[in-house]
Amino acid sequence: MGLKFDENLQEIGIVLNETQKQQFDVFYEMLVEWNKVMNLTGITKRDEVDEKHFVDSLSVVQVFDVDKCKKVIDVGTGAGFPGIPLKILFPDMEITLLDSLNKRIQFLNAVIEELGLKKINTIHGRAEDFAKKEEYREQYDLCVSRAVANLSTLSEYCLPYVKVGGAFVPYKSGEIDEEVNAAKNAVKILGGKIVQVKKFTLPGSDIGRSFVKISKVSKTAKRYPRKAGLPSKEPLK
């Protein structure tokens, strides 16, 4: 773990203990090793993974007091971002990682076991399907997602998981204004309200990033999310 990683985290108010540093080291080694046999990430150099995956994942602390969240779900977690870094930082958090690709779930389960993480579970499946199940629907204080989809589509995948009073915070690129404006009505239909757009530069880089903080103000109508494929083909307007 490099000095730069430490400095970049301190810039957003995070100081890791030795156990956490070790966990990030092991996570990195496993990511690179498993990446040789499956496509987990196009980024494999240590300093780039630190910056674009680890620091980026933890940057959400700038807009949301994640420490206060008991239950968190990461929708479309991929190789475990932002879910695993958040779990390392907040070991008491109960977290669910959802992904549609079983190979990735196998990788995540191996990471969880190797790092000795507790109160964390993985789900293999589509966001649209699990959002209909009682044990997941409106059960979470916070939903996060770094998945690539426009905000209307992503909100339909994610807001059904969030309990009233909780929040959905997607990780987006720096240029977000148009997308946010286009999604306002969709967010409202789904029981959400856009309360903050936080733009920032990723520490140690010139990469523009944004967090859109969406509060869950009322229950999501039972018909959402629509059946698999529709939220991306025909985003709500």
The beta-carbon contacts of 179-185 under 8 Å, at least 24 apart in sequence, are 179/150, 179/151, 180/151, 180/212, 182/150, 182/151, 182/152, 182/237, 183/150, 183/151, 183/152, 183/155, 185/236, 185/237
Q: Which residues partner with 201 through β-bridges?
A: 208
Cβ–Cβ under 8 Å, residues 219 and 138 = yes
- Enclosing H/E stretch for 194: strand 192-201
CA distance 94 to 116: 14
pLDDT for residue 65 = 86
Residues (pLDDT < 50) of the chain are: none
pTM equals 0.96
pLDDT for residue 205 = 87
pLDDT for residue 55 = 95
Strand pairing report for 120-124 and 94-99: parallel
CA distance 60 to 48: 18
Length of the chain measured in residues: 237
Other Cβ atoms less than 10 A from the Cβ of 162: the count is: 27
Domains and CATH numbers, the chain: 3-227 (3.40.50.150)
Residue 204 exposed, middle or buried by CB count within 10 Å (0-12, 13-18, 19+): middle
> What are 108-162's pLDDT values in tens digits?
999 999 999 999 999 999 999 999 999 999 999 999 999 888 999 999 999 999 9
pLDDT for residue 204 = 83
